[in-house]
């Protein structure tokens, strides 16, 4: 993990992940999911360090009340279920103490941003590195897909209005993580199955940036325009030239035109209302 003041120590995060990894139906989401991907790609994308830290003391999982009960049992904690009149996305909150650190782990029944039906279908099982014990080992862990990380971080800032520093850092790091994930999926470009994974993500990103109400506004709310993810593969020889010349070029042209129109519309509204641009 990227060590920073004010976040959970690495050994505590690792212990939580080690204990919760066997719980079926538990999916790591939120800042800890983004931090996992950022740590994985930090060597290939050193610019990620510009946006660290990506997490607070929160650890969030997508899951059900049953998942919460199993996590609480494994952590030696207790479960707090929402009351009937509580308006919360939580299925439950797990309270536990590990090595003197009091934890509140949100078990979310809904993650704002990504399509609900795709969260579990498109989750990624990855090796979570365990480093604090000396010899590095790894455990298999279900982690939110990098595209869903971008969508959830975008919804946090734009839909929920969470404009605090860590939320904006997470949002600006998310396109870098997504770019590196697509590149990793491609490998050397020789495996058609891996290529299909990469091009499927590019297609989904294209649709998100063109048709989603939040995705369309992203370029005006962040430093790292997610269109740059698609542009990064415009000349990549690992992708078939015909794909690059047809699909990718079309994506870039269409998204660029839409973003220009949206910027012009915003400027016109600002001028009409006497708002300085």
Mean pLDDT of 16-30: 94
What's the chain's average pLDDT? 91
**Residue 127: pLDDT above 50?**
yes
Confidence (pLDDT) at 2: 35
For the chain, give every domain's residue range.
Answer: 10-146, 187-277
Beginning with the edge strand found earlier in the chain, give each strand of the sheet holding 101-108 in spatial order.
78-80, 90-98, 101-108, 59-62, 27-29, 137-143, 124-130
**137-143 and 90-98 beta bridge pairing:** unpaired
Mean pLDDT of 124-142: 86
Label residue 85 exposed, middle or buried (CB < 10 Å: 0-12, 13-18, 19+): exposed
Percentage of the chain surpassing pLDDT 90?
79
Asked if 81 and 130 touch (Cβ cutoff 8 Å), the reply is no
**Residue 173: pLDDT above 50?**
yes
Confidence (pLDDT) at 87: 77
Mean pLDDT of 36-61: 89
Domain 10-146: which CATH number of 3.30.1690, 3.10.450, 2.40.128, 3.40.50: 3.10.450
Per DSSP, 61 falls in state E
Q: Kindly report, residue by residue over 254-269, the tens digit of the pLDDT.
A: 999 999 999 898 888 8
Q: Kindly report, residue by residue over 215-230, the tens digit of the pLDDT.
A: 999 999 999 999 999 9
């Amino acid at each position: 993990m990227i060590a920073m003041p004010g976040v959970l120590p690495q050994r505590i995060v690792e212990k939580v992940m080690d204990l919760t990894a066997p719980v079926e139906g538990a999916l790591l989401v939120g800042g800890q999911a983004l931090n996992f991907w950022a740590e994985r790609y930090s060597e290939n994308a050193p610019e990620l360090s510009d946006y660290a830290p990506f997490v607070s003391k929160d650890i969030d999982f997508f899951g059900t009340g049953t998942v919460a009960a199993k996590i609480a049992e494994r952590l030696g904690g207790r479960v707090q279920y929402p009351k009937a009149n509580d308006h919360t996305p939580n299925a439950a909150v797990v309270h536990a103490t590990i090595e003197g650190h009091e934890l509140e782990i949100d078990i979310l029944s809904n993650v704002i941003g990504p399509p609900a039906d795709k969260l579990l279908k498109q989750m990624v099982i990855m090796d979570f590195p365990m480093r604090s014990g000396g010899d590095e080992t790894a455990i298999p862990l279900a982690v939110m897909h990098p595209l869903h990380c971008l969508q959830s971080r975008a919804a946090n800032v734009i839909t929920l209005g969470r404009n605090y520093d860590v939320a904006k850092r997470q949002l600006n790091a998310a396109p870098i993580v997504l770019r590196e994930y697509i590149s990793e999926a491609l490998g050397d470009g020789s495996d058609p199955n891996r290529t299909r994974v990469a091009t499927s993500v590019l297609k989904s990103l294209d649709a998100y940036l063109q048709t989603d109400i939040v995705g369309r506004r992203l370029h005006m709310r962040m430093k790292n325009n997610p269109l740059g993810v698609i542009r990064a593969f415009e000349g990549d020889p690992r992708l078939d030239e015909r794909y690059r010349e047809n699909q990718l070029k079309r994506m870039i042209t269409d998204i660029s035109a839409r973003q220009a129109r949206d910027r012009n519309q915003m400027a016109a509204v600002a001028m009409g209302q006497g708002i300085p641009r």
